[in-house]
Structure formats: structure tokens, C-alpha cells
């Protein structure tokens, strides 16, 4: 019996993630931060920046992890994701943004949310707005406002089919085309949509695109006849 308990304890320790050491004497564990009473203001501020960087990086890490799994383990990756307890829809949203930005174009001084705000644009425009956001030290919300204002001024009712532009694929043979869609929703419904997009780290445009793609995929799967045995 004692041997069984020791084995179970060893297995539990193996599964438990190691503690993360932050600035000074503060330690991060899965269930919280261990902070001494004497922590200085400067150390507290630096820890906040470290935590923000970890949270932001994790979106890129999870996105690249999913993209790899989709390619390398196409028959099993959904099952593995379910076992991890991660949200597949959230991962898909992350991966959609990551596919729009190869690692060489990701800006370390900007958050994942900054990139998500411009992910639906063409690569040249993405780079332009990200460069401005980095130089001007814009917040994600400021970047969103600047982009939306620019698009409205250029073409408030434009419909672009991408026929005069090079289509940009996401690596799986598909091409992106830009189209302006006017949504008429009650204010409370619009607010719920905005909260959902924010929760996934996406702009409203990127989130709507993901929802539409997911709906089409579900429709095609449900309409597909059963394969013969």
C-alpha cells in the first residue's frame, strides 16, 4: 500500500508543472503567485510586465502548436486537444492569426491582439499599421480606431473581390479575399459579439470571419454523405 502511494505521489509530481521564477523572490504557481510583503514598487511593476509578456506569448505558442498538430497529426490532433482541456475554437482563432503572420513578421514590441486587429488586411497593410503602432506606441484599441477610421474614409461602402490583387494564402492552398459586410444588429447583440471577439483576442472583423468559416465547415460536414464502408 505504501509503495502504491509513493508511486501515485511520484506520478502527481511528474504531471505538476514546475514553478515559474519571476523577478526577485516572487514565484508563480498554477494556483497563484507567492509574493513577499516587502516587494518593492519597481519589482511589482516589472513582474506585471513579465506576466503580460508570458500571457501574450502563449497565444502565439498555442497557435503554432495547433498548426503543427494539424499538419503532422491530422487524424488525432482533435482528440489530443480535448485531452488537454483547451478550447478548440479559441485555438483555431489563434491559429488563423498566426497563419497570417509568419514568425519573421511578428513584432515583439506589439501584442498578439495588435496583430489580430489587422490580420484580415493584406500583408502590406498589416506591416504598415503594425509599424505605425510600434512607432507611436499605440494601444490595441487605438490601433483598431485608426484602422477603422482609415477604411471608412477610403471606402465606406466598398466591396472588394480581390480580383485586382494577389491573393494571400494561409499555407493550405486557400486564398484570402477582402469583402466589406454591413451588419445590422441590436446594440446588445453587437456588444455581445464585441465581447466574444475580445475574449478570443481578435478584432471584430477577424472574429466574424472565423465564425463564418466555422459555420460553413459545419454545414459542409453535415451535408456530406456518409462514406461507404
pLDDT of 130 higher than 90: yes
pLDDT digits (tens, 9 = 90+) for 16-26: 444 456 777 78
pLDDT of 13 higher than 50: no
pLDDT digits (tens, 9 = 90+) for 146-202: 988 888 776 544 434 444 444 444 444 445 566 667 777 777 777 778 777 776 666
pLDDT at 8: 46
pLDDT at 177: 62
pLDDT at 168: 44
pLDDT at 64: 94
List phi, psi (to 5°) of 74: -55, -30
**Residue 18 domain-assigned (yes or no):** no
Cβ-Cβ contacts under 8 Å for 101 (sequence gap 6 or more): 115, 119, 126
Question: Which residue reads 488586411 in cell numbers?
Answer: 121
Share of the chain residues as helix, strand and coil, in percent rounded to the nearest 5: 60, 5, 35
What does the alpha-carbon distance between residue 149 and residue 146 come to, in Å, rounded to a whole number?
5
222: confidence class by pLDDT, cuts 50, 70, 90? low
**Residue 35 domain-assigned (yes or no):** no
Q: Which domain holds residue 45?
A: 40-214
**Residue 111 domain-assigned (yes or no):** yes
**Residue 33 domain-assigned (yes or no):** no
**Residue 164 domain-assigned (yes or no):** yes
- CA dihedral in degrees (163, 167, 173, 178; nearest 10)? -80
**Residue 5 domain-assigned (yes or no):** no
Residue with the bigger pLDDT between 68 and 84: it is 68
pLDDT digits (tens, 9 = 90+) for 154-168: 654 443 444 444 444
Residue with the bigger pLDDT between 61 and 56: it is 61
Question: pTM for the whole thing?
Answer: 0.57
Grid cell listed for 197: 471577439
**Residue 229 domain-assigned (yes or no):** no
**Residue 12 domain-assigned (yes or no):** no
Grid cell listed for 83: 485531452
126: confidence class by pLDDT, cuts 50, 70, 90? very high
Task: Please compute the mean of the pLDDT values over residues 24-31 and round it to a whole number.
Answer: 78
Question: What is the full DSSP assignment across 72-140?
Answer: H-TTTHHHHHHHHT--HHHHHHHHHHHHHS-GGG--TTS-HHHHHHHTTS-HHHHHHHHHHHHHHT--H
pLDDT at 83: 85
How many folded domains does the chain comprise? 1
Amino acid at each position: 500500500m505504501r509503495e502504491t502511494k509513493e508511486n501515485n505521489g511520484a506520478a502527481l509530481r511528474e504531471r505538476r508543472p514546475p514553478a515559474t521564477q519571476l523577478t526577485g523572490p516572487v514565484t508563480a504557481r498554477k494556483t497563484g503567485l507567492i509574493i513577499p510583503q516587502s516587494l518593492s514598487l519597481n519589482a511589482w511593476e516589472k513582474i506585471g510586465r513579465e506576466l503580460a509578456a508570458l500571457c501574450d506569448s502563449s497565444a502565439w505558442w498555442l497557435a503554432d502548436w495547433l498548426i503543427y498538430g494539424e499538419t503532422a497529426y491530422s487524424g488525432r490532433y482533435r482528440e489530443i486537444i480535448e485531452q488537454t482541456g483547451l478550447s478548440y475554437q479559441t485555438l483555431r482563432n489563434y491559429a488563423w492569426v498566426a497563419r497570417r503572420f509568419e514568425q519573421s513578421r511578428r513584432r515583439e514590441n506589439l501584442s498578439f491582439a495588435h496583430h489580430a486587429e489587422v490580420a484580415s488586411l493584406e500583408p502590406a497593410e498589416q506591416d504598415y499599421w503594425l509599424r505605425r503602432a510600434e512607432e507611436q506606441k499605440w494601444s490595441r484599441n487605438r490601433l483598431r480606431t485608426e484602422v477603422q477610421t482609415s477604411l471608412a474614409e477610403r471606402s465606406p461602402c466598398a466591396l472588394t473581390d480581390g480580383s485586382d490583387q494577389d491573393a494571400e494564402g494561409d499555407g493550405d492552398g486557400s486564398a484570402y479575399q477582402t469583402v466589406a459586410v454591413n451588419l445590422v444588429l441590436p446594440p446588445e447583440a453587437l456588444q455581445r459579439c464585441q465581447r466574444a471577439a475580445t475574449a478570443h483576442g481578435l478584432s471584430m472583423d477577424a472574429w466574424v470571419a472565423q465564425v463564418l468559416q466555422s459555420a460553413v465547415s459545419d454545414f459542409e460536414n453535415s451535408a456530406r454523405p456518409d462514406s461507404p464502408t
